[in-house]
Amino acid sequence: MITMLLIDNFFINILFAIAALIGIALSIRSSLAFWYSTSNQQKTLIDQINALLPQTQCGQCSFEGCLPYAGAIARGSAINQCPPGGEATIIRLAQLLNDYPKPLNPAHGRIEPIKIAFIREAECIGCTKCIQACPVDAIIGGAKLMHTVIASECTGCDLCVAPCPVDCIDMLALPAQNPWQWQLPTELQSTAAARR
Amino acid sequence: MSSTNFLHLPHQQLRRRKIFGGIKPAPHKAASLRSRIMPMPLPPQLILPINQYHGTNSSPLVKVGDAVLKYQALTEKLDHTGAALHAPTSGRITAICSAPIAGHPGNAALCIHLQCDGDDNSLELQPCLNHDQLTGFEVLRKIDAAGIVGMGGAGFPTAHKLRLAIEHGTELLIINAAECEPYISTDEALLRERAREVVIGAELLRTACHAPRCIIAIEEDKPAAIAALRSALAHSPIELMLLHSTYPTGGEKQIVQAVTGLEVPVGQYPLNLGILVHNAGTAYAVYQAVAEGKPSISRIITLTGRALQTPKNFEALIGTPAAFLLKLCGVQEQHHLTTVMGGSLMGLQLAHTEVPVTKTTNCLIAATVEDFPQPEPELACIRCGFCAEVCPARLLPQQLYSFARTHNHTQLQSYGLDDCIECGACAYVCPSNIPLVQYYVAAKQDLRTLSVAREQSEHWQTRFQFHQYRTKQEKDSARERRIPTALFPVELLPTDSSPITSVQFSRQLAQQEIADAVARANAKRISRLATDTQMPQHPAKDKE
């Protein structure tokens, strides 16, 4: 009986060892595969998130630009830190990430209509500080010469306003291009009902 | 170049070709066809939108206060998508300002206001008697100068379309006289009375685009126009093709399908198949421009609807206010419910009737409640599939409807919303009275705004990336500049046996420089200590 038990134990031990080895090998392989796949997925995920961000490069999300914020979201940052994107961006991000849309975090700013920078050229002293601050090179001008904003390139990021030593930069609202918007009949009915 | 050959198409077809889907609404055309095309008395004022086609670029040639003669050019086009505008009558320019035009509420555009003097003094016209001997280029130039745009509705400049057709190589010219939409009867009236002129215009268009074959396509329910065309075409190489009367056969892609049996691929135009489609009204305008030398200053407009005592077709001057035309037809204000510009299925409701008619206005409907009864309340979609059966673009309207309601933009695009021609056939057959086209128009606008925003953000992204690249380059080059490359001491230059990186190299150089500087400073201090004992003060300092 005892010998039988010993043999049994011996076999069982060997079986356990083989199972453990196979288990370790499988787990290493799967973890490796997981690592590969996540690194690849994350890259595409960052691109997908970046495509949804408004690319104003304003830094209101407390990151350096839109791409760094996209990376942070992919690593688990909150999706409600982008004021220029507004609600639409938050909803689209939530759809992409299977998350619930949240209201914009007021610590990062408020949703405002799009504005662009305008330099009061008579007051500009030509210090080039705004040129260095502009993330999209939308300001032209030389040292000690007047600067001006290329309106079509300005993202309205507000970053040039603070460095200006003479406060000659205004953020002006864009004139509405096409005030008329077609609405879905369902939305028309709901707005009519709300008015009633 | 297209490789399609249309010479194999049979001349006369036994069975009328049909488009995919489509509906058969009541035509409502008889009322306006009772009388002939009438000339119009001069209105007191004309309002001429500078851009007759949305998205075009034209600039005015006249100033406020100028006296102009009939046929005088008022604007010049700034690029190929523009068309010139000419004075429809003589008078004085009273204003060049923004004025309401047809379209959505509050739609306004820059317009030239012309006060008519009633004399109708005109510039001398230069008719061309030997128009059949003109070359294609000469015809094209005359069309360009006359400012003709497509009279079918879209208003694309005809000369530009011809130029594109020549680039692509055209095998077949189709003159579209289908006019399938209810209430509109301009082409039928035109062909009934002026078929010869339309045929000459078609021949001129064929010369201009070098097409070997030309077909005039007309729906079979217009016997008077067909008879007139048959006699006008008696000695002409141009053929006549009768089509099944189905709405919307008159759409550009649909008429190509009806005539040739070919379907225009998604995102392409008939030009890509080597087919050019022009409206019969455009052919008439081409005849006027080339043979008579007249620029495009008038067009035939159907005035109809039960609120008018005498519905008829007018040869109306461009810029005439809609209200003036309605008054000429005896509009009964007590029954007048609304005015629609265009046909009953694709037309736009006018917010008010002071808007001018343009080169693309083909119909004005002064509607009563009988014409357009109050829409029934919208019910839920029961997924009956009637809409998919009638959609001429072979889309799935019920799917598009649900995606539009949920703002599902990716699905809208993959289900081909861009191919919707907004013909309204789906809404016409919908048993739940869903205004489907309104959903599609709103969804299309959403998609457009989104794509504009996406383009903008991509542009900003590339600029931001370039900015980062540029600042990094500048920093690097500033660091490089600190290393004087030409003055390297020979013993420090990297040798082949011991390759050193530029960082190591600059570090070595810096250490050497520091050592040199320390040595120089030491030497100076020693020499100063030596001189200080001999000379107490610098001589230059004594003078001050």
- What value of ipTM does the predicted structure carry? 0.74
Cβ of A185 within 8 Å of Cβ of B466? The answer is: no
* Domain match, A118 and A104 both: no
Partner residue opposite B441 with nearest CB, options A55, A136, A182: A182
Q: Which of B151, B176, B188 is nearest to B312 (CA)?
A: B188
Counting one residue from A and one from B, how many pairs have CB atoms under 8 Å apart?
56
> What pLDDT does B303 receive?
95
Cβ of A180 within 8 Å of Cβ of B454? The answer is: no
Structure tokens at B388: 């998919």
pLDDT average, residue stretch B190-200: 94
Q: Judge whether A151 lies within some domain.
A: yes
Q: Which of B10-24, B335-349, B402-416, B504-518 has the lowest mean pLDDT?
A: B10-24
Asked which of A80, A108, A136 is the last residue of a domain, the reply is A108
User: Residue A167 phi/psi, 5° resolution?
Assistant: 50, 50
Cβ of B460 within 8 Å of Cβ of A182? The answer is: no
Q: Judge whether A31 lies within some domain.
A: no
Q: What is the CATH number of the domain that holds A99?
A: 1.10.15
Query: In whole angstroms, what is the distance from residue B179 CA to residue B423 CA?
Result: 13
* Domain match, A157 and A118 both: yes
Structure confidence at residue B506 as a pLDDT band (50, 70, 90) = confident
- pLDDT of residue B308 exceeding 60, the answer is yes
pLDDT average, residue stretch B319-325: 94
Asked which of A89, A108, A127 is the last residue of a domain, the reply is A108
Cβ(A54)–Cβ(A61) under 8 Å?
no
Q: Which of B260, B12, B234, B253 is nearest to B154 (CA)?
A: B253
Query: In whole angstroms, what is the distance from residue B147 CA to residue B323 CA?
Result: 25
CA distance B464 to chain A (A): 5
Q: Which of B130, B122, B124, B180 is nearest to B153 (CA)?
A: B180
Q: Which of A165, A107, A159 is nearest to A137 (CA)?
A: A159
Cβ(B173)–Cβ(B201) under 8 Å?
no
- DSSP-derived 3-state class of residue B87: coil
- pLDDT of residue B409 exceeding 50, the answer is yes
* Domain match, A104 and A122 both: no
> What pLDDT does B116 receive?
93
The residue type at B109 = A
B448 interfacial to chain A (CB closer than 8 Å): no
Structure confidence at residue A65 as a pLDDT band (50, 70, 90) = confident
Its domain, for residue A168, covers 113-175
Cβ of A185 within 8 Å of Cβ of B107? The answer is: no
Q: Judge whether A95 lies within some domain.
A: yes
Query: Over the stretch B78-131, which tens digit does the pLDDT of each residue have?
Result: 888 888 899 999 999 999 988 888 877 677 888 999 999 988 888 988 888 888
pLDDT average, residue stretch B445-469: 90
Asked which of A92, A108, A124 is the last residue of a domain, the reply is A108
Cβ(A71)–Cβ(A46) under 8 Å?
yes
Chain A contacts in chain B segment 85-124 (CB below 8 A) = 104-107
Computed from CA positions of residues B327, B330, B335, B337, in that sequence, does the dihedral angle turn out positive or negative?
Answer: negative
> Between the CA atoms of A96, A102, A108 and A110, what dihedral angle is there, to the nearest 10 degrees?
110
Cβ of B107 within 8 Å of Cβ of A55? The answer is: no
Q: Which of B383, B309, B322 is nearest to B356 (CA)?
A: B322
Nearest residue of chain B to residue A157 (CA atoms): B460
Candidates B101, B406, B433, B463, partner chain A, best to mutate (most A CBs within 10 A): B463
Task: Say if residue B454 is exposed, middle or buried (CB neighbours under 10 Å; 0-12, 13-18, 19+).
Answer: middle
Q: Give the other-Cβ count within 10 Å of B328's Cβ.
A: 19
Contacts of A55 (CB under 8 A, 6+ apart): A66, A155, B456, B457, B458, B460, B461, B464
Mean pLDDT across chain B: 87
Q: Which of A93-97, A191-195, B38-42, B92-96 has the lowest mean pLDDT?
A: A191-195
* Domain match, A170 and A118 both: yes
Partner residue opposite B106 with nearest CB, options A57, A135, A179: A179
Query: In whole angstroms, what is the distance from residue B531 CA to residue B540 CA?
Result: 16
Cβ of A184 within 8 Å of Cβ of B404? The answer is: yes
Mean pLDDT across chain A: 82
Cβ(B186)–Cβ(B179) under 8 Å?
yes
- pLDDT of residue A117 exceeding 50, the answer is yes
Query: In whole angstroms, what is the distance from residue B25 CA to residue B490 CA?
Result: 95
* Domain match, A104 and A120 both: no
- DSSP-derived 3-state class of residue B48: strand
Cβ of B439 within 8 Å of Cβ of A135? The answer is: no
* Domain match, A119 and A159 both: yes
Chain A contacts in chain B segment 379-408 (CB below 8 A) = 404-405
* Domain match, A122 and A171 both: yes
User: Residue B301 phi/psi, 5° resolution?
Assistant: -125, 135
CA distance B363 to chain A (A): 23
Q: Judge whether A19 lies within some domain.
A: no
- DSSP-derived 3-state class of residue A101: coil
pLDDT average, residue stretch B286-298: 94
Domain tally, chain A: 2
Contacts of A113 (CB under 8 A, 6+ apart): A173, A174
pLDDT average, residue stretch A73-83: 90
A83 interfacial to chain B (CB closer than 8 Å): no
Cβ(B178)–Cβ(B219) under 8 Å?
yes
Q: Which residues of A touch B435 (CB under 8 A)?
A: 185
Partner residue opposite B461 with nearest CB, options A55, A137, A183: A55
Structure confidence at residue B544 as a pLDDT band (50, 70, 90) = very low
Q: Which residues of B touch A155 (CB under 8 A)?
A: 460
Candidates A82, A87, A186, A187, partner chain B, best to mutate (most B CBs within 10 A): A186
Partner residue opposite A137 with nearest CB, options B441, B454, B467: B467
Query: In whole angstroms, what is the distance from residue B419 CA to residue B263 CA?
Result: 12
Contacts of B431 (CB under 8 A, 6+ apart): B382, B384, B386
* Domain match, A128 and A80 both: no
- pLDDT of residue B332 exceeding 60, the answer is yes
pLDDT average, residue stretch A33-60: 76
Q: Judge whether A39 lies within some domain.
A: no
Structure confidence at residue B183 as a pLDDT band (50, 70, 90) = very high
- pLDDT of residue B538 exceeding 60, the answer is no
- Using CA atoms, how far residue B511 sits from A139, B319, B481, B492, B531, in Å, is 41, 84, 18, 11, 30
CA distance A94 to chain B (A): 14
Cβ of B460 within 8 Å of Cβ of A155? The answer is: yes
Contacts of B508 (CB under 8 A, 6+ apart): B492, B500
Query: In whole angstroms, what is the distance from residue B218 CA to residue B259 CA?
Result: 10
B278 bridge partner residues: B175
* Domain match, A60 and A92 both: yes
Computed from CA positions of residues B354, B360, B364, B369, in that sequence, does the dihedral angle turn out positive or negative?
Answer: negative
Q: Judge whether A150 lies within some domain.
A: yes
> What pLDDT does B542 receive?
43
Query: In whole angstroms, what is the distance from residue A154 CA to residue B542 CA?
Result: 61
Q: Give the other-Cβ count within 10 Å of B296's Cβ.
A: 25
Cβ of B458 within 8 Å of Cβ of A55? The answer is: yes
Nearest residue of chain B to residue A184 (CA atoms): B439
B494 interfacial to chain A (CB closer than 8 Å): no
Q: What is the CATH number of the domain that holds A160?
A: 3.30.70.20
Query: Over the stretch A84-101, which tens digit does the pLDDT of each residue have?
Result: 888 888 988 998 888 888
pLDDT average, residue stretch B358-363: 91
Partner residue opposite B464 with nearest CB, options A51, A136, A181: A136
Query: In whole angstroms, what is the distance from residue B248 CA to residue B240 CA?
Result: 19
A50 interfacial to chain B (CB closer than 8 Å): yes
Q: Give Cα B83 distance to the centre of its chain.
A: 12
Q: Judge whether A69 lies within some domain.
A: yes
- pLDDT of residue B376 exceeding 70, the answer is yes
Cβ of A65 within 8 Å of Cβ of B460? The answer is: no
- Please tell me the number of Cα atoms within 13 Å of B196 on its side-chain side: 4
Cβ of A137 within 8 Å of Cβ of B466? The answer is: yes
* Domain match, A70 and A103 both: yes
Query: In whole angstroms, what is the distance from residue A82 CA to residue A64 CA?
Result: 12
B99 bridge partner residues: B109
Structure confidence at residue B3 as a pLDDT band (50, 70, 90) = very low
Q: Judge whether A183 lies within some domain.
A: no
> What pLDDT does B541 receive?
44
> What pLDDT does B407 receive?
86
Cβ of B464 within 8 Å of Cβ of A179? The answer is: no
Cβ of A134 within 8 Å of Cβ of B467? The answer is: yes
Q: How many residues does chain B have?
A: 544
